[in-house]
């Protein structure tokens, strides 16, 4: 079983943001139980966000100029992900989440 957490931003342990901290801690716990977990972040990418080291798999995708359109790499990941994968969307409504759900259905 694969669990994919998707959030706006990147999972950083020491940030004052309840959602990001929760996703980091939850993913760390799942990984320690040997569950296949990934965190996908939708972010304005920078060298700082790309070069971080994580104890679990992290994939970062850039925000697009048109928020109701997904980045081509994110779209490819959604198209090729195993059907049994469980997705958790963390945050309030953002346009990218609408498109992700529409793609998965």
Residue 77 has pLDDT above 80, yes or no: yes
pLDDT tens for 62-75 read 888 888 899 999 99
| Nearest one of 24, 59, 55, 56 to 45, comparing CA atoms | 59
Strands 36-43 and 2-8, how do they pair?
parallel
Region 22-47: what's the mean pLDDT?
87
CA gap 90, 60 in Å, rounded: 15
- The model's pTM is 0.87
Domain definitions of the chain by residue range: 2-104
Q: Which CATH architecture has domain 2-104?
A: 3-Layer(aba) Sandwich (3.40)
Alpha-carbon distances, residue 67 vs 3, 42, 79 (angstroms): 24, 11, 19
């Amino acid at each position: 079983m694969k669990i994919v957490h998707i959030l706006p931003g990147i999972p950083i342990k020491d940030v004052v943001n309840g959602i990001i901290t929760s996703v980091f801690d939850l993913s760390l716990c799942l990984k320690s139980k040997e569950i296949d977990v990934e965190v996908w972040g939708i972010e304005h990418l920078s060298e700082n966000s790309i070069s971080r080291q994580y104890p679990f798999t992290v994939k970062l995708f850039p925000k697009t100029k048109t928020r109701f359109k997904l980045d081509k790499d994110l779209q490819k990941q959604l198209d090729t992900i195993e059907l049994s994968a469980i997705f958790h969307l963390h945050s309030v409504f953002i346009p990218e989440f609408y498109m992700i759900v529409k793609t998965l259905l």
